[in-house]
Amino acid sequence: MITEESRGEAVVRLDGVRKEYGETTALDGVSLEIRAGEAVAVMGPSGCGKSTFLNMIAGLDRPTGGTVVVHGENVGELSEKGLALYRRRRIGMIFQFFNLVDDLSALDNVALAAQLTGTPARQARRRALELFEELGIADRRNAYPAVLSGGERQRVAVARALMNRPALLLADEPTGALDSRAGEQVMDLLLDLNQIGQTLILVTHDAHLARRCAGRMVEFADGRVTGEHTLEPSA
Amino acid sequence: MRAVWRAARAAVRRRRLQTLVIALVTLTSTAALVVALGLLDAASAPFDKAFGKQRGAHVAAAFDPARVSDVELARTARQPGVEAVAGPFAQAAVELPRETMNFGLGTDLTVVGRGDPAGPVGRLDLWAGRWATGPGEVVLNRQSDWTADDLGKKLRVPSGPDLTVVGFAFDLAGTADAWVAPEQIAALHPTATQMLFRFTDASSQDRLRASLAAVTDGLAPGALTASQSYLTLKQQIGSSARAYTPYLMAFGILGIVVAVLIVANVVSGAVISGFRHIGILKALGFTPGQVLAVYLTMISVPAVAGCVLGAVAGNLLARPFFEFVFMGPDAGVFHDSVGIAPWVNVLALLGMPGVCLLAALAPAARAHRLPAARAISAGSAPRAGRALGIQRRLAGSRLPRSVSLGAGLPFARPGRSALTLAAVVLGVTTVTFATGLATSMTRFGEAGRDAYQVTVYVGAYKNGKEIRPTHTDPELESLLRSLPGAEEVTARADIEVRMAGSAQEMMLEGRRGDRPSLDSVLTEGRWMHRSGEIVAGSAFLRHNDLRVGDRVRLEKGDRQETLAIVGEYMHNDRRLVVTDQSTLTALAPQEKPIAYHVKLREGADAAAYARAARAADPGISPDPVGANTVTQTIVGSASVLTVMLAVVASLGVFNTAVLNTRDRRRDLGMLKSIGMTPRQVTAMTVTSMAVLGALGTVVGIPLGMLGHELVVPRMADAVDITLPAYMTDVWQASALLALAPAGVVIAVLGAYIPGRRAARLTVAQVLHNE
C-alpha cells in the first residue's frame, strides 16, 4: 500500500523492454511508467504481449533487452532467489484460472504466502482470516478449492495476493473464467482495493472491467504500446 | 494402425524425459534382474551345475588288472542302469619326493593314463597349457583360480621317468592327481584300471552302491578294489560356495522384487500422467482400443530398448562379478564356466517387458473406459484434495512451510507413494542386511588375525631340492624369538591319528609356546590347561556326535591316549582337533613342529621379519599372513550388490519425483509466483521423497535385521561351524544409528535432480501452458 506522500511517484518504470522467444518477439521496446496508487488496464488482442508485459513486472520472466525497474529495483538483474524475494515482498498476482493448491483448504492457500516468508502458522492464519472477512468469504475458509465456486476461488486468490501487503497487485484476466455475476463481484473488489490506495495493473480483454477498475488504459499490439488513454470511472 | 504408430511415436518424442526414465529404469532393473536370477541359478546348486557340466563320474572305480581285462570292463557300459562310462584307464600310484609339495601335490599321487580330457564321463577343464600327448609329459589336476606358473617345470619321479608339466586341468570329481598319455603310463608301473561311471539313478549312496554291484556282478571276485562316490565328494567340495548360497539367494530375491516393483511404478505412473493426452486422442476420434494401443506402444518402445540393453549390461556385469564370487578356493567352478544361464536371459527379455505391459495395462484400461471429457479434465481440472487432514495438520505445524508442504505430497498420490515406499523399504533392507553381513564376515575374518603375522614353515625348496633347517627345534624357536620385532612364538606339529571305533583318520594338532589358542576362536568351554585335554572344531564335534565334556580315545600305531574334550572352537575341518605338544608327543614321541607362528610387536614389518628369518636359516620358509579371501569376496560382492540395488531403488524415487513435479507444474509455478525460492522448491521436492525414505528406514531396518538373523546362521551351518555370539550380535546402537539415514539417503539421491529441475522451472511458461 502507498502513503499520501508517495502517491503519484513512478513505482514501475519500463524502458525499451524487449522479450524474444526464439524467432518470436513478444515485447518490442516497451517503455512505460506506472505511478503509485494508479490502476492501469492493459488491453489488446490475443498474442499482443499483454501477459508477457505483466510477467516482466512480476519477475516471472526476464527481459531480453531493456530494463524493468520496480520500486528502484532492476528486476532483470536479480538472481533467482532475489526474484523470489522480490515477488514475495512487492508483488501480488491474480490469475485467470486462480491457481490454488487443490490439497490445501482455502485458508491454508492464503496463509501459504505468508508462511513462505517464515511467518508462524498461527499468525499467518490469523492474517488470512482477516482478509477472508474483508472479502466476505470467511464462511468458506475451511472449504477446498474443488468445492468453491469460480467467484469464491478468485476471491481466495485475491486474498492470497494481498497476504503480504504487496506494493503492486497484478491481475491477468481476473474475470476471464467467471460468470458475469462473479465477475462483477471481483471487479468491485479490485475497485475497492484501488480506492484505498492499492496500485493495480490489470490485463484484460474486458473493456467494461477496464473502465470500471482502471484510471488509465494502455493498448498493446504486436508487442508494442500503441496507445494510452485516461479513463473516466463508469458508474 | 498407422495412426496408432504415429501418435505413439509423437508421444515418445514429446515425453523425452519420461521415455528416458522408463528406458533407464528398465535397463537398470533388467541388469539387476539378470544378475539376481543368475545368482539364484548359480547359487542354487553350484556343485551340481559344475559336476553336470563336467559330466562328472557318479562313481570312480578302480579294478585289479590281474582279475579283469579291459575288454570285460568296456562291456560294463552296456549294463542296465549305466548311462555312460569312460575308461578303462590304466592307473598308477606314484610316490614322489617331498619337493612336489611345491606343486600343491601330496607325496602319493594317483596318475592316470588318458588320451584326451574330453569324453562321455569326467570331461576335464583344461584351463592352462595343453594335454599330455607324448612321453615325459604330465597334466596336473589344479583348480583354475591357482597360478599356472609351474608350466614347463619337471616332476622328479623316483620310480619312473621325469615328467614335464605341460598343462593344468581341473577335475571336480578328483579322479586323479595327474594324467599322462596312455603310452606313458606303463613306465609308471600301473597297478589298477580306472573306470568312470554315470548311472541313470544316482540319487543316493544306496542306489549308487546297488548300481555298481549290478555292473560288477559278472566280473571275477575281488576285481573291484576301490570306489569313490560323487556324493561323498559333493559334501567335501564347494564349502565356500555353500557358504555363499544363502546370502546370494537373499540378494537375488531382493533384486528381483525391487526390479519388478520399480518397473511397475514407473510404467503405471507414466500412463496415469498421460490421462489428458488420452482424452485428447479420444476427442480426435481414436477408438478406445487404439488409445490402449498407443499407450502400450509408447511404453513398449523405451521398455523393450531398456530391457535389451539391460540384459546386455547384466551379462557384461555378471561375468567379472561371478568370477569374483565363485572362483574362490574350493568353489568347484571351472574357468570360462561362470556366466549367465540362457534361461535367465530368456526370462529377463520376455518377463521384464511383460511386467511393463501388465503395469501399463491396468491404468491404460482405466483410461480406455474413461469418457474423453473426464480423461482431459483428469490432467488439468482441480482435483478433490486427498489426505486433507494430514495437509491441514502439516500446514499448522512449526515446520518451515516448504518442508511441511513436501511432507504432505506423498499422501496426495497414495498408490504411487506406496510403490515407491516399497522400493525404498527393499533398498534399506538390502543395505541393512549387507551391513550386518559385512560386519559378521569382517569379525569372522578378523577373528584371531592379530594372533600372529608370520608363519615360519620348517623346510625350504631351492632348485627342486629340499633344504632342511640348520637349527634344531629348540634352537629354531630361540632364533625366531631373538629376531627383531618378535613378541610371541608358538610351535605347531600335526600327526594323523585314528579315533577308537572309527575307520577314518583324523589330524591331531599339537601346539606349544606363548599362544596355544593361535587364531582359533573358542565358542564353548576353554582352552587346554594340561596334558590329556583337547579342543575340537565345531565340524568335528557335529560329525562325530560329540560334545564338550566327552572323552575320546586316540590311537597312533601301538600307542593310545584317552583325552577329554574341554572346548569347542570355530573350525570347519571335520578331521581336526587341537591339543598341547606334550599330548601329541605322548602319541608320537619323534614328531617335531612343522611350523612356528610368530606374533610381531606393534608396528613391526612382517616382510622384514620374514627376510631376516630366511637369512638366519635357509632351511625355513617364512610366510607373512595374507588377506582373508573368503571374507573379502563376501564383503566385496555384498557391497557391489548393495550399491546396485540402492541405485535401482533411488531410480524408483527419481521417477516418482519426476512424475510428481510434472503433475504439480501448475502448483510449482504458482508457488514460485508467490515467492517460493528455488531452494524452497528443492527442499519441498526432496522432503516429499525423504518422508518415504524415513518410513522406508523404519520398516526396512527391521526387515534387514531379520534377513541377517535368518541367513548368517545358515551360512555358518552350511560350512559346519558355530559362530560365537559376538559375530552374530552386530546390531549395536551405533550400527543402527549409522543405518538410520539409509532410506533418506536413497530418497534424497533420487529426488535431488528432479527437485533442482523443478526449482529452475520458468514460472511464466508453466502458468501460460497450463
Q: List, for residues B20-53, the tens digit of each pLDDT value.
A: 877 887 887 788 778 777 776 766 666 676 777 7
In a domain, B748, yes or no: yes
Given an 8 Å threshold on Cβ–Cβ distance, is B675 in contact with A87?
A: yes
Mean pLDDT over B313-342 rounds to 65
Q: Do B501 and B572 fall into the same domain?
A: yes
Contacting B residues, span 651-690, partner chain A, CB-CB under 8 Å? 666-667, 669-680
Same domain, B347 and B387: no
Question: Positive or negative CA dihedral for B687, B689, B692, B693?
Answer: negative
Q: What is the pLDDT of residue B243?
A: 59
Identity at B522, one-letter amino acid code: L
| Structural domain contains residue B232 | no
Q: Out of A99, A120, A147, whose CB is closest to B767?
A: A99
How far apart CA B722 and CA B728 sit, in angstroms, is: 10
Residue range B266-285: mean pLDDT, rounded: 72
B235 CB-near residues (< 8 Å, 6+ apart):
none
Last residue of a domain, one of B380, B404, B424: B380
For residue B556, give the H/E element and its range.
Answer: strand B551-556
Q: Is residue B405 part of a domain?
A: yes
CB of B276 within 8 Å of any CB in chain A?
no
In angstroms, the separation between the Cα of residue A234 and the nearest Cα of chain B is 31
B residues 176..205 contacting A (CB < 8 A): none
Q: What is the pLDDT of residue B330?
A: 46
Q: Consecutive sets of 10 residues in chain A, 235 residues long: mean pLDDT of each?
A: 57 94 91 93 91 91 93 90 89 87 87 88 91 89 88 90 90 84 82 88 88 91 92 64
- Tell which of B356, B380, B404 closes a domain: B380
Is residue B650 located within the same domain as residue B728? yes
Instruction: Mark yes or no for CB contact B673/A52 under 8 Å.
Output: no
Backbone angles phi, psi at B94, to 5 degrees: -115, 130
Q: Which pLDDT score is estimated for B373?
A: 64
Going from the C-alpha of B318 to that of each of A176, B37, B325, B522, the distances in angstroms are 61, 10, 10, 38
Average pLDDT for chain B: 81
Say which of A61, A80, A105 has its CB closest to residue B678.
Answer: A80
pLDDT band at B236 (very low <50, low <70, confident <90, very high): low
Bridge partners for A221 per DSSP: A224
pLDDT of residue B630: 61
Q: How many CA atoms lie within 13 A of A103 on its CB side?
A: 23
Give me the interface pTM, i.e. the ipTM.
Answer: 0.81
DSSP letter string, B139-193: EEE--TTS--TTTT-EE--TTS--EEEEEEEE-TT---SEEE-HHHHGGG---EE
Check whether residue B491 and residue B565 sit in a common domain.
Answer: yes
Residue of B nearest to A160 (CA): B674
How far is A232 from chain B, CA to nearest CA, in Å? 32
- Which of A56-60, A65-69, B201-205, B765-769 has the lowest average pLDDT? B765-769
Q: Is the predicted pLDDT of residue B760 greater than 60, yes or no?
A: yes
Spatial neighbors of A228 by CB under 8 A, at least 6 apart, are A216, A217, A218, A219
Same domain, B242 and B167: no
Using a CB-CB cut-off of 8 Å, the residues of chain B touching A105 are 388, 391-392, 395
Say which residues have a Cβ less than 8 Å from residue B70's Cβ, sequence separation at least 6.
B88, B193
Residue B294 inside a domain? The answer is yes
- Least confident among B119-128, B395-404, B606-615, B738-747: B119-128
The mean per-residue pLDDT over the stretch B591-604 comes to 90
Task: Tell me how close the Cα of B643 comes to any Cα of chain A, in angstroms.
Answer: 35
Q: How far is B669 from chain A (nearest CA, A)?
A: 9
Kindly state the average pLDDT of the residues B59-67.
86
Q: Give the Cα separation of A215 and B51 in Å (integer).
A: 94
pLDDT surpassing 60 at residue B713: yes
Supply the pLDDT for residue B535.
95
Q: What is the pLDDT of residue B36?
A: 73
Residue A221 CB burial class (10 angstroms; 0-12, 13-18, ≥19): middle
Band the pLDDT of B666: cuts 50, 70, 90: confident
- Considering the domain architecture, whether residues B90 and B203 belong to the same structural domain is answered as yes
Q: Could you report the per-residue pLDDT of B535-572, keeping only the tens digit for each?
A: 998 888 888 888 899 999 888 878 888 999 999 998 87
Which chain B residue has its CA at the smallest distance from A118's CA? Answer: B400
Reported confidence tier of residue B582, pLDDT bands at 50, 70, 90 = very high
pLDDT number for residue A126: 92
Do B479 and B533 lie in one domain? The reply is yes
User: Quick one: three-class SS letters along chain A?
Assistant: CCCCCCCCCEEEEEEEEEEEECCEEEEEEEEEEEECCCEEEEECCCCCCHHHHHHHHHCCCCCCEEEEEECCEEHHHCCHHHHHHHHHHHEEEECCCCCCCCCCCHHHHHHHHHHCCCCCHHHHHHHHHHHHHHCCCHHHCCCCHHHCCHHHHHHHHHHHHHCCCCCEEEEECCCCCCCHHHHHHHHHHHHHHHHCCCEEEEECCCHHHHHHHCCEEEEEECCEEEEEEECCCCC
pLDDT class of B483 with cuts at 50, 70, 90: very high
C-alpha cell at B721: 561351524
Residue in chain B nearest A109 by alpha carbon: B395
In this complex, the residue of A103, A108, A117 whose CB is nearest that of residue B386 is A103
Q: Does the structure show a pLDDT above 50 at B464?
A: no
pLDDT for position A26: 92
Would you state the pLDDT for residue B381?
44
Predicted confidence at residue B107, as pLDDT, reads 59
Residues B610, B639: one domain? Answer: no
> For residue B108, is it within any domain?
yes
CA torsion through residues B319, B321, B327, B331, sign: negative
Q: Inter-chain contact A112–B768, Cβ cutoff 8 Å?
A: no
Phi-psi region of B513 (alpha: psi -120 to 50; beta: other; left: phi over 0): left
Domain encompassing residue B688: 382-448+628-770
Whether residue B359 sits in one domain with residue B255 = yes
Q: A102 vs B770: CB contact, 8 Å cut-off?
A: no
- Give domain status of residue B59, yes or no: no
Q: What is the mean pLDDT of residues B523-535?
A: 91
Tally of structural domains, chain B: 4
Q: How confident is the model at residue B234 (pLDDT cuts 50, 70, 90)?
A: low
d(CA B536, CA B526): 11
pLDDT class of B503 with cuts at 50, 70, 90: low
Q: Which residues contact B615 (CB under 8 A, 6 or more apart)?
A: none
3-class secondary-structure state, position B86: strand
CA B559 to the chain's CA centroid: 45
- Both B246 and B351 in a single domain? yes
Q: Give B177's pLDDT tier (boundaries 50, 70, 90).
A: confident
Out of A60, A102, A121, the one facing B395 most closely (by C-beta) is A121
Q: Residue B382: its pLDDT value, please? A: 43
B370 found inside a domain? yes
pLDDT recorded at residue B144: 66
**Amino acid, res. B228:** Q
Cβ distance B680 to A116 less than 8 Å, yes or no, reads yes
Cross-chain CB nearest to B673 (options A58, A97, A100): A58
Q: Which residues of A touch B (CB under 8 A)?
A: 51-52, 55, 58, 60-61, 80-81, 84-85, 87-89, 91, 93, 95, 97, 99-105, 108, 111-113, 115-118, 120-122, 125, 144-147, 160-161, 164
Closest CB to A84 among B386, B388, B678: B678
- In B, minimum Cα distance to A47 occurs at B768
What's the mean pLDDT in B88-115?
A: 73
In a domain, B135, yes or no: yes
Please list every residue in chain A whose beta carbon sits closer than 8 Å to the beta carbon of residue B667. Answer: 99, 101-102
pLDDT of A25: 93
Q: Identify the domain boundary among B604, B627, B650.
A: B627
Of A133-147, B118-132, B223-237, which gets the smallest average pLDDT?
B223-237
Q: What percentage of chain B carries pLDDT values higher than 90?
A: 15
The confidence band for B393, taking pLDDT boundaries of 50, 70 and 90, is confident
List of domains in chain A: 10-230 (3.40.50.300)
| pLDDT tens profile B628-638 | 666 666 677 77
Instruction: Using CB atoms, pick whichever of B385, B680, B762 lies closest to residue A146.
Output: B385
Task: Please report residues of A whose CB lies closer than 8 A to that of B665.
Answer: none
Averaged pLDDT for residues B319-326: 68
- Residues B482, B582, single domain; the answer is yes
Which pTM value belongs to this model? Answer: 0.65
Asked if B412's CB is within 8 angstroms of A93's CB, the reply is: no
> What are the tens digits of pLDDT across the range B136-176?
898 988 776 666 667 777 777 777 888 888 988 888 777 88
Q: Could you tell me if B44 and B187 lie in one domain?
A: no
Q: Does pLDDT of B327 surpass 60?
A: no
| pLDDT at position B332 over 60 | no
Is B570 strand, coil or helix? Answer: coil
Q: Which three cell numbers stand for residue B616?
A: 638366519
